[in-house]
Chains A and B, each alone.
Chain A
Amino acid sequence: MNNVFVYCEIEEGKIADVSLELLTKGRSLADDLKCDLEAVVIGADLKGVEKQIIPFGVDTVWMADDKRLYPYTTLPHTSIIVKLFQEEKPQIALMGATSIGRDLGPRVSSALHSGLTADCTSLVIGDHEDKKNNKEYKDLLYQIRPAFGGNIVATIINPDCRPQMATVREGVMKKEIRSEAYKGKVKNIEVEKYLNSEDFVVKVIERHMEKSKVNIKNAGIIVAGGYGVGSKENFEKLAELAHVIGGEVGASRAAVDAGYASHERQIGQTGVTVRPKLYIACGISGQIQHTAGMEESSMVIAINTDKNAPINNFADYVITGDIADVIPKMIKKYKENTK
């Protein structure tokens, strides 16, 4: 009772990355709250799926296994989640801000009359004092999200309604296994008892899904490298930074031509146009052919040995130095500050 729940999405037998990231965040929230972390998986042929889930520090995995439950449709998944939440009364429920989580979440929140905050970029536990009604709240979930086209960041709370629900996009939270030996249990949901007869009025009649691939177009953070990165080895340092801070690797045309990165990562006039909230340009001089594809980034950090590189005109932060020196320092300092 009153635990942290994560709804896990599954595609072709594999739990979605966004769900694993949420389990990682859910685990740390559950640690703060000194409660259990529970996961819910709804789908077909789920035998053994718990092995992908429990190592993230999950104490209980709820499984609803029925061939009618895959692929996802709104109503049966809603019915199961709503009833399960009514029984288990989670204090927090997290879902991916995906076409599934953003379809299911609002429907569930409406049925339970609980607050839902979409696309959170940060989730932390904190207290709240309601001065007007002279009430104090302990251990609420602060749901932090950009709003208003990204021009403001709002902290949202749900003081009185439970569960406190939030969705988070893929790649925003870190994915980290708690322990391969973590001990969790599986509870099977008796599907028939949770479904209503009219839950299958919407049927999927055709479906074409692609395997997940490089998606720099929608990445919130991009670490991009140019010819100045100098080598494939140095490019791997960029990849490491991107991985650590939850971003994707991009490249200029010169870097792609030099064989440092694949073409699908190319940004600029002959590649894709990106609008991330953070763009880290490494060893990129800043020719118009490249900047045309990134100039709408919300924030730009330029790392270059040339302190007069044109890219610096687009930058919020200019770091004059060598990639091989700067990037490892950034990784180290990021880790120190997020402990």
Chain B
Amino acid sequence: MKGLKIVVLAKQVPDTRNVGKDAMKADGTVNRAVLPAIFNPEDLNALEQALRLKDKYPGTEITLLTMGPGRAAEIIREGLYRGADNGFLLSDRAFAGSDTLATSYAISQALKKMGNIDIIIAGRQAIDGDTAQVGPQVAEKLAFPQITYAEDIVSAEKGKIIVKRRLERGVETVEGTMPMVVTVNASAPDCRPRNAKFVMKYKHARAVSEMQNADEDYIALHNNRPYLNIGEWSVNDIETKAEELGLSGSPTKVKAIENVVFQAKEAKVLEPTDADMDELMKELIANHTIG
């Protein structure tokens, strides 16, 4: 039997679970440079689902696709260490400022270029935005059906895919046709660890933008071992309309950003009076804690 062609969509995200005081710049924007960059957790759950299908259906090929700056190639290497076959980095300043719609447009155009995909698997959402939108929007742009909130891809054979979904108040098993977009919940099994053999094989895997300062020997190594070259596409490598990209392709705009947590953690002592309770409620409403 012929294996499946799977693309896993992954994102490198700032680790918002470990945000320190220096995480915000004076102007209220996020200082991404000081936050550790990690493989988005649910995208790892997605990768594990792909790896399980590869275990089950020999000949399956797993490609990681990520969009981001040059350093996002780190998560492609991480994916290779865990058993993915290859990866692509979609990187261009033209993508900067993209909201979920412009992001899904760029990603779907890259997926169209790849072609012949059976399953696209992504994490349900990324921890820096928590929107859960890119998966379904990619599906719509490719005119693929979608199965979100997946916990287990039970099988994917003879053109049919069966998926168990975890919803707020229960579970559901659905059957659909391939090609299909599946987004995976954190309740799915954790991703397997790195495989020592793959770490040895791929530790020098690099994207083009990481090779800028490489010496001749390093370039020669990559010429001799093509699998060490992580594919990198700029806006010129995929077919796009400029007005659909970046800020101009984004219907949503950020009007204002407010920093809510980094206030002094010293208790404010209030008296049980009408005046103090009034002040408390006004504060809680103003900082969007309630109301």
Q: Which residues of A contact B (CB under 8 A)?
A: 71, 73-75, 78, 98-99, 102-103, 105-107, 109-111, 113-119, 121-122, 128, 142-144, 146-161, 201-212, 221, 245-246, 277-278, 298-299, 301-302, 312, 315-322, 325-326, 329-330, 332-334, 336-338
Bound Cα distance A203, B148 (Å): 13
Q: Are A153 and B16 in contact (CB under 8 A)?
A: no
Partner of A116, one of B14, B252, B253: B252
Contacts of A110 in B (CB 8 A): 101, 104, 136-137, 140-141
Q: Are A99 and B288 in contact (CB under 8 A)?
A: no
Q: Are A147 and B130 in contact (CB under 8 A)?
A: yes
The residue on B at minimum CB distance from A126 is: B255
The smallest C-beta distance from B162 to any residue of chain A, in angstroms, reads: 8
Q: Are B253 and A99 in contact (CB under 8 A)?
A: no
Q: Are B268 and A151 in contact (CB under 8 A)?
A: no
Given contacts A118-B132, A221-B290, 4 further A-B contacts (CB under 8 A): A245-B290, A278-B284, A332-B274, A333-B278
B28, B139, B140, B162 pick with most chain A CB within 10 angstroms: B140
Q: Are A117 and B252 in contact (CB under 8 A)?
A: yes
Contacts A107-B140, A148-B16, A156-B255 given: A330-B268 contact, CB under 8 Å? Answer: no
A147, A278, A318, A332 pick with most chain B CB within 10 angstroms: A147
Tell whether B27 is near chain A: CB-to-CB under 8 Å. Answer: no
Q: Are A118 and B176 in contact (CB under 8 A)?
A: no
Nearest 3 A/B pairs, CB to CB: A149-B16, A321-B272, A115-B251
Contacts A298-B261, A317-B267, A318-B267 given: A329-B274 contact, CB under 8 Å? Answer: yes
The residue on B at minimum CB distance from A162 is: B251
Q: Are A107 and B146 in contact (CB under 8 A)?
A: yes
Determine, out of B69-77, B164-172, B201-209, B219-227, the stretch whose residues face the partner at the interface: B164-172
Contacts of B255 in A (CB 8 A): 128, 142, 155-157
Contacts of A302 in B (CB 8 A): 267
Question: How many of B's residues come within 8 Å of A, CB to CB?
Answer: 79
Bound Cα distance A318, B253 (Å): 38
Contacts A107-B136, A316-B268, A337-B282 given: A154-B291 contact, CB under 8 Å? Answer: no
Contacts A109-B133, A111-B140, A116-B252 given: A334-B272 contact, CB under 8 Å? Answer: no
**Dominant secondary structure of chain B at its interface with chain A:** mixed
Tell whether B211 is near chain A: CB-to-CB under 8 Å. Answer: no
A-B contacts, 30 listed (Cβ < 8 Å): A71-B172, A98-B168, A103-B149, A109-B133, A116-B100, A118-B130, A119-B130, A146-B288, A147-B130, A148-B30, A151-B30, A152-B28, A154-B258, A155-B256, A156-B253, A160-B251, A201-B145, A204-B172, A205-B175, A206-B172, A208-B171, A210-B169, A299-B289, A317-B267, A318-B270, A319-B269, A326-B277, A330-B277, A333-B278, A337-B285
The smallest C-beta distance from B120 to any residue of chain A, in angstroms, reads: 14
Q: Are A154 and B289 in contact (CB under 8 A)?
A: no
Contacts of A143 in B (CB 8 A): 252
Q: Are B260 and A113 in contact (CB under 8 A)?
A: no
Partner of B136, one of A103, A122, A160: A103
Contacts of B175 in A (CB 8 A): 202-203, 205
The residue on B at minimum CB distance from A276 is: B289
The residue on A at minimum CB distance from B170 is: A209
Partner of B167, one of A75, A99, A122, A246: A99
Tell whether B128 is near chain A: CB-to-CB under 8 Å. Answer: yes
A151, A205, A210, A338 pick with most chain B CB within 10 angstroms: A151
Contacts of B149 in A (CB 8 A): 99, 103
Q: Are B270 and A319 in contact (CB under 8 A)?
A: yes
Contacts of A158 in B (CB 8 A): 251-253
Contacts of B128 in A (CB 8 A): 147-149
The smallest C-beta distance from B217 to any residue of chain A, in angstroms, reads: 42
